[in-house]
Amino acid sequence: MRKVAIVGAGMTSFGEHFGLGIKDLVPMAFAECAASVDKGVAKADIQAAWFGELSTSDGFPSGILADSCGLLDIPVTRVENACATGNDAVRNALYGIASGAFDVALVVGADKVRESASKDTFWEWAGMTRDMAWDYPLGLIAPANFALHVTRYLHESPATREHMAMVAVKNHRHALPNPKAQLRHEITIDQVLNAPMVVEPFGLYDCTPQSDGAAALLLAAEEVVDRFTDRPVWIRGVGLGVDRVMHQHKRDMTTFPATVRAAKSAFAMAGLSPSDIDVAEVHDCFTGIELISYEDLGFAERFEAHKLVESDSTTIGGPLPVNPSGGLKAKGHPPGATGVAQCVEIFEQMRATAANQVDGARIGLTHNIGGPTAVSAVTILSRDRD
């Protein structure tokens, strides 16, 4: 396969964009992405597009991207894979270029969570990504769904709600310098622990906010990278993993096999290991999920994730900063946009232009997990081609 690099990246701010529709947000992200391309890009250069989107009720998604961005002469493919959608869109575009079918492709992720014509709230819509025969009738929408895992994890491991609170405090602090983040304010351990309970063991500050937003990436084959930039960020590895849907069929609630499989595939493709990662954007839809994911991604031994937050290892200045953007917890989480926005963050980290820069970062990882904890996507980016 041909090598593929990201040559441009951009995103909107994440937040409650009541005054903007998906048809506004998508071209805003595309425009910032195009403006970031060092040597410029013309719409005629783009040969295909992949659009990651879940919950929009504003019309036909692929047509929205093509029409709002003036890309009517190229194929546009919509990708939907629960909260793994954004990174899966990157994976699909990568293979489109690596196969030789295209030289240049656009990846966009977007969602309007705060407004929906068909559902009153995001969580009601999100129920439709669960098993409809058993889980949904029992009320296992996302908070309850993930709470089953974290409750069991807290029971079997030394981790506590205080460790979960440390994740929330860290990610809020990381979001402070990020102008695109939704929640740019610090919180304390006590605030997290004493917040209103959403579903045990998640209080309000353990949960990601509902967000609108869009993000975009421009990908190019190695043969044409020099037309766009002299400082590409290479996609070294991608992986997608799945797991059983119904919770009664999952053998171990303290791990996410989908993440383990996705990470194994991405690291194998990249020829790298977890110890090579300098910075990571990890799916922290709920604080306890970041802890479990440390272990599934290979950053910590089983049931030792709490040691990373206790030692500030995953804080900026530590050996493995996680979620320097603020993560889903503070940057925000428009599901279709999240994985693409994670890659925007790592792209900027690799080019030393990030709002919350990790010194010397050369290799970065992005990670999503979604649905009934049944799908995960991992992407590994690097300043170096090999």
Six token digits for residue 342: 């994670």
* Residue 254 near residue 37, CB atoms below 8 Å: no
Phi, psi angle pair for 26, to nearest 5°: -60, -50
Name the token pair of 232. Answer: 């590409």
Distance (Å, rounded) from C-alpha 285 to C-alpha 272? 26
Which string of DSSP letters, residue by residue, matches 290-343? HHHHHHHTTSS-TT-HHHHHHTTTTSTTSSS-B-TT-HHHHH---HHHHHHHHH
Q: Say if CB 293 and CB 241 are below 8 A apart.
A: no
Pairing mode of beta strands 48-52, 104-112: parallel
Phi first, then psi, for residue 231 (nearest 5°) are -135, 65
Write down how long the chain is.
Answer: 386
The secondary structure of the chain in percent helix, strand, coil, rounded to multiples of 5, reads: 40, 20, 40
Instruction: Please state, in angstroms and as integers, the Cα–Cα distance from residue 138 to each residue in 89, 141, 150, following that order.
Output: 31, 9, 18
C-alpha angle with apex 279: 239 to 215, nearest 5 degrees?
A: 65
Q: Which residues are catalytic?
A: 83, 333
C-alpha dihedral sign at 99, 218, 386, 366: negative
